[in-house]
Structure 1
Amino acid sequence: MHYHAKSLTPFVTALATSTFLLTSTISANLAADEKIRWKVQAVFGTHLPGLGDPIKQVAKQVKQASAGNIQFKVYEPGKLVPPFGITEAVKNKQLNAGYAWLGYDQGKIPAAALLSAVPFGMEPWEYATWWYEGEGKKLAEELYGKHGVHPVLCSVIGPETAGWFVKEVKSMDDLKGLKIRFAGLGGKVLQKAGASVTVISSGEIFPALEKGAIDASEFSMPAVDQLMGFDKVAKNNYFPGWHQTFTASHLVVNKETWDGLSEANKATIDMACTAGTFRALTRGESLQGKVLAGFPEKGVTAHKLNDDMLGSLKALTDEVMAEISEKDADFKKIYQSQQAFINEYKQWKKLAYLPRDF
């Protein structure tokens, strides 16, 4: 039997179309069936509201949104790797992913500190705007990509307190020789002020205060610090949190692992973390007023740092930023990006928002 080429054309076209549709369906099904089962270690206890619990909410949301295809098994701090070693473990594939505070990486990656907290820096929503709408996300991915890690913003909360102190501090002289737990760039500023600064993990802070090994400590917002028990031994809580005007935490994923995900799964994780970021902010803001109202009953006094001290701390901060920028090109690039954004945004911020002291 003989067929003319012309008579075969519809058959060939139909076959090609069917093959394309079948291939597309298989690809779609493979993407849908891509099972993600990650061990995710948290840097903060997941019982801590706004600070540690966002990763639990993200894990729940991502599982539901993916119909169970994406599942994170969240581990508490130190269960798999040391609390300050999360990103290194992710880089080396000891962990699939981690919920990290990137400021703890500043020893190896100085610019990392700018992604987690900046003295006299942005408001939390301002940082999120710089991250999503400005250069933040791109610069962070470039920075960590060189270290084999992909960062996803997964939480941002409001300012910390300026610290819990056993004794009152009224001037810069009171900081000289003070033994204090202080993380991130703020710690470098206090070192310049003459304080004896140490960085210890969250679980070690209360025993150190109780035993007198340290005279003061910062950690987070009042609702978190209360759960840590600081108000039992240090009765002077200072404000504002000049050293940490926002606290940002990130989901960090091995870059090779991230790059190997389907676009659908990347988008699902991104969406869950974006939602987690907003919910962390609202959760954190919802709790502090009640805690502050309970201070008198606990014998805790809320103090405001005077303008002279804030001015001196700002001057020292500028020195620290200039010194690190001179030594590290990545730090300089990211810090300049943040400062440019602040200078542009402040025009709106100054005019648009109602002053609260009229």
Structure 2
Amino acid sequence: MKKSILATAVTLSLVTSTAVMADFDRVRWQVPMGFPSTLTALGDTMPEVARMISEMSGGRVTLQTFEPGALIPALGAFENVSAGNVPAAYSWMGYEWGQLPVSALFGATPFGLESQEFLAWMYHHGGDELLKEAFAPHNVYPILCGTISPEAAGWFRQEMTSLDQFQGLKFRAAGVGGEIMAEFGMSVTLLPGGELYQALETGVLDGTEFSLPTVDEQLGFFQVAKHYYLPGWHQPSTNQFLYVNMDEWNRLNDQTKALIENACMAGNAMALAKAEALQGAVLKRFEENGVQLHQYPEDILKAFEEATDRVMARRSETDPMFGKVYASMKAFQEEHRPWKNLGYLPRNWGVED
């Protein structure tokens, strides 16, 4: 009798397990990435999310990641997913600035939401719904899948002491931040991360922004530029997304969709924790290598903020979706401001000059 009961229990367990696994679609997607997987917190999040998805689905759902340029151009996630050339891709949102300007607000908003605020707005104040609305006409279903700490304001070959020095400066920037910098006469260009070291070394660029200190260290910028400016006013959060072709997404059942979206939520927590854990040690190493760390003075930050207001107003007037998303962000930022100001210790508390 005991053997019979045990055998029945094992059989039921196997049947139940098989039924649960069978509810996941069998998915085999190639997922090209906009960043090398070697870049800490920026490029290694999607491979980790893919690993989690495979493990939780018992191997039924496989997202095979590819390094930049292996399948599509490094900055080509949006257009290739939209056209159905690839089922999905992973990148910072904003490289499609020319085709879909509102995307840059989700990638990073100058003087906007920091990473934890961005998550709050996305999940609890309508941000994710606005994101889906903006991308639906382009046959793309975007999923927030990795948010990290602020970028630095940039690397410069010379010390920047006045606004006049920005005139004619050859600088790499992406998204709406680049348009704001152009307000000061900067010659702004967009290059992939892998091309920036040589551009700085040879003088093709006078300066560049790219990511947070960990990533900038890996790309070696400290070897060819010795002035590092903070804070990253143009990018207080850096947000990566899994772009999924809408036709591919609609073919999935609800359990598979939930698996992918929940794994990306876990990816957000993992990426932000990793980003915050590592930056202090990197800044110390920069100083040991002769880098001068600078904070922009209040007058320069104020000038950037005023330029931001002009650019955002101009864009909002000509692009209703841009205006709608930006208004939502600003409304949440204002609502959240008293808690942000009063609920936390001042950032300079206990910090010696």
Partner of 1:297: 288
User: Any conservation in 1 of the 2:24–2:256 contact (CA below 8 Å)?
Assistant: no
TM-score in terms of structure 2 length: 0.92
- Give the aligned CA root-mean-square deviation in angstroms: 1.4
Q: CA deviation at 1:349?
A: 1.1
Assess, with a 3 A threshold, how the Cα gap between structure 1 residues 327 and 31 changes in structure 2: closer, same or farther.
Answer: farther
- In the alignment, does 2:307 pair up with 1:316? yes
Q: Distance in 2 between matches of 1:62 and 1:230?
A: 34
1:177-216 alignment to 2 at 5 Å? 177-216=168-207
User: What SS does the corresponding residue of 1:83 show, helix, strand or coil?
Assistant: coil
1:252-263 alignment to 2 at 5 Å? 252-263=243-254
User: Any conservation in 2 of the 1:120–1:245 contact (CA below 8 Å)?
Assistant: yes
Partner of 2:239: 248
Q: 1:167 aligns with which of 150, 158, 168?
A: 158
Assess, with a 3 A threshold, how the Cα gap between structure 1 residues 222 and 319 changes in structure 2: closer, same or farther.
Answer: same
Q: Distance in 2 between matches of 1:347 and 1:297?
A: 39
Partner of 2:5: none
Deviation string 1:259-285 (CA, Å, 9 cap, x unpaired) is 110100000001100000110000111
Q: Distance in 1 between matches of 2:266 and 2:53?
A: 10
1:107-118 alignment to 2 at 5 Å? 107-118=98-109
1:267-346 alignment to 2 at 5 Å? 267-346=258-337
- In the alignment, does 2:141 pair up with 1:150? yes
User: What SS does the corresponding residue of 2:195 show, helix, strand or coil?
Assistant: helix
Q: CA deviation at 1:355?
A: 1.6
User: What SS does the corresponding residue of 1:104 show, helix, strand or coil?
Assistant: coil
User: Any conservation in 2 of the 1:84–1:104 contact (CA below 8 Å)?
Assistant: yes
User: What SS does the corresponding residue of 2:95 show, helix, strand or coil?
Assistant: helix
Q: 1:225 aligns with which of 216, 228, 236?
A: 216
User: What SS does the corresponding residue of 1:37 show, helix, strand or coil?
Assistant: strand
Structure 1 counterpart of 2:23, which letter? A
User: What SS does the corresponding residue of 1:77 show, helix, strand or coil?
Assistant: coil
Q: CA deviation at 1:102?
A: 1.5
Q: Distance in 2 between matches of 1:46 and 1:126?
A: 26
- In the alignment, does 2:51 pair up with 1:60? yes
TM-score in terms of structure 1 length: 0.91
Partner of 2:91: 100
Q: Distance in 1 between matches of 2:205 and 2:25?
A: 49
User: Any conservation in 1 of the 2:21–2:58 contact (CA below 8 Å)?
Assistant: no
Which structure 1 residue ranges, 4+ long, deviate > 4 Å from structure 2?
Answer: 27-31
- In the alignment, does 2:320 pair up with 1:357? no
Assess, with a 3 A threshold, how the Cα gap between structure 1 residues 280 and 30 changes in structure 2: closer, same or farther.
Answer: closer
Q: 1:348 aligns with which of 301, 315, 339?
A: 339
Q: CA deviation at 1:296?
A: 2.4
Q: Distance in 2 between matches of 1:278 and 1:269?
A: 15
Q: Distance in 2 between matches of 1:216 and 1:257?
A: 40
Deviation string 1:183-203 (CA, Å, 9 cap, x unpaired) is 111100110011010001111
User: Any conservation in 1 of the 2:24–2:253 contact (CA below 8 Å)?
Assistant: no
Q: Distance in 2 between matches of 1:85 and 1:57?
A: 22
Q: Distance in 2 between matches of 1:133 and 1:159?
A: 21
Q: Distance in 2 between matches of 1:300 and 1:93?
A: 45
Partner of 1:16: none
Q: CA deviation at 1:356?
A: 3.7
Deviation string 1:58-107 (CA, Å, 9 cap, x unpaired) is 01100001110111110011111111211111111111101121210110
Structure 1 counterpart of 2:248, which letter? T
Q: Distance in 1 between matches of 2:286 and 2:248?
A: 47
Long gaps (5+) in structure 1: 1-24
Q: 1:80 aligns with which of 71, 85, 99?
A: 71
